[in-house]
Amino acid sequence: MKNIILGVTGSIAAYKAADISNILTKNRYNVDVIMTKSAREFITPLTFQSLTKNKVYIDMFEEITPSEIKHISLAKKADLCLIAPASANIIGKLANGIADDMLSTVVMAMNKVPVFICPAMNTNMYINPIVQRNIKTLSDLGYNFVEPKESVLACGDLGKGALADVDVIIKTIENHFINTNA
């Protein structure tokens, strides 16, 4: 069974991460969810725990097993990391080597694990030159991106920035495992 870390960040699209975790679990992946503080403003950890049957990780200083450093053990266990939705904040942290919460710390501890990032934010945020620079930096470092789609966004704006469709994200992950024979 493949182990997937699902990072959920603060975006109205966080509710779609529940569908992603549910489908991946039903497709026989083990899914460990890590939520940022902002993500918990949109959806609760209990939702993911119920769908994945796994503990949801939110606090990097909560060490459940004293002999285990959880952010390191999660990174070592992972076959793939999926961040969906990925806010401008997490993209900026990763591009600049900032590891100050459970999700960013786990991702920083993954050196050979493929990371797939699914941006979701307002169009003006997405096209901001700083965000685009951060995306390019991460792409140049080997991080993978699932492009957001153009849609009417939660704020009412029309433009690129909506989380890619759940089926597109799932297909991307499954194709990765097929193509790498992993």
Residues noted as catalytic: 155
**What length is written for the chain?**
182
Q: Which two tokens stand for residue 71?
A: 């952010």
Q: Which two tokens stand for residue 102?
A: 């459970």
Number of neighbouring beta carbons within 10 Å of residue 97? 8
Q: What residues pair up with 145 in beta bridges, in sequence order?
A: 117
Cα(99)–Cα(104) distance, integer angstroms: 5
Rg, the chain, Cα only: 15
